[in-house]
Amino acid sequence: MNAAVPEDVVGTYQGLLSVTPEPAANEPTKLGRFTVKVSSTGRFSGVLEYRGLRHRMTGAFSAELTSELTIERPEQSALTVKLQLLPDTDALSVEVEEAFGGATSTGSDVKHSFDGRANRCDDAGRYTMRFASLEEGTSFSGYASATVSDKGVLKFAGRLSDGTPVKGSGFVNADGSVSLQDTLYRPVFPDAGQLIGAIQVDREALALAVTGNLEWQVPNALSETAFLTVMGSTYVRPVARQRVIDSPTGSLIFNSSEPVNFSNPVLLTTANRFQVAEPNEKKLKITIALGSGVVTGKFFDSQVNRVRVLRGIVLQTQRTFHGFFLTEVAGGTWEMKEF
């Protein structure tokens, strides 16, 4: 039976679920994310995003501020979900256990506190970020453009370096932490791929305004989990006759990596157009969406007589551009910076 709960625990909670005990190397450490809204009557509703699949949750808390429910999954073992409100720390603890000896994961996080009125998020604004593989040093693995609202809701959209689109949202906590999750690829039994992890947003940190770690999980291929580091900066749309990066001359050099390795000088005009120096044998073209900082373009791959598409992002504080392109065999990366 549900019971009225203390007013200070009423609200919305969101957090990540970490595998317990600690998994083997190269296996996912995060299995999902919970989002739970608690009412004053003690009832709750929410979503469990688990192994890339989405499950609805409803229930009620007892007088002890606990609740337990079972989620039945088609052709898979059921999930037992245990919830515990923690008024002393203004948090919610969640444990998820797979039936028949499956994985167990736990997590807790504090109540979302921003309302956009009396309590506005200091980190509201736009950001751009790049992802890099931890295993390959600074290898480019994707990008995203993000906005944070006065209510402390972060929305992001971008692409991973295999071309997969990513898009989602998360609540920004008072300390700037955000739990991110997005389902990737078509769901495949018994799970789907997902991009999941925690980032930190701090508008005053300039070149380190966005930091954190994400896991790029491929469905039914635990050994293919890629561990990504996130680095990003604030982004401000330039006014008229102002370059998107603070470059006195706009002189840039474009460099691409294998499997199509080439360089070309580029001039960024005060109208934010990219003028590629002649003879431009690769027929390089680059454009930027000034509202988001997302960069697109193309070049001619003479080895196979095909046009390659460029995608990427600008990091304003770092005054650099980063991205990727795809080929039939492998993907390549590119960057553009001052020279």
Q: Residue 265: pLDDT above 70?
A: yes
Residue 134 has what pLDDT?
A: 72
Residue 264 has what pLDDT?
A: 97
Q: What's the rounded mean pLDDT across residues 246-273?
A: 95
Residue 3 has what pLDDT?
A: 65
Residue 220's pLDDT band, with cuts at 50, 70 and 90, is: low
Determine if the pTM surpasses 0.85.
yes
Residue 22 has what pLDDT?
A: 84
Q: Residue 1: pLDDT above 80?
A: no
Q: Round to the nearest angstrom and report the end-to-end CA distance of the chain.
A: 68
Domains and CATH numbers, the chain: 7-110 (2.40.128.120), 125-235 (2.40.160.90), 251-338 (2.40.128)
Residue 25 has what pLDDT?
A: 78
pLDDT digits (tens, 9 = 90+) for 101-115: 888 999 999 999 999
Residue 222 has what pLDDT?
A: 47
Q: What is the dihedral of CA 68, 72, 77, 82, to 10 degrees?
A: -10
Let me know: does 69 contact 59? Beta carbons within 8 Å.
Answer: yes
Of 15-24, 198-207, 236-245, 295-304, the range with the lowest mean pLDDT is: 15-24
Let me know: does 263 contact 253? Beta carbons within 8 Å.
Answer: yes
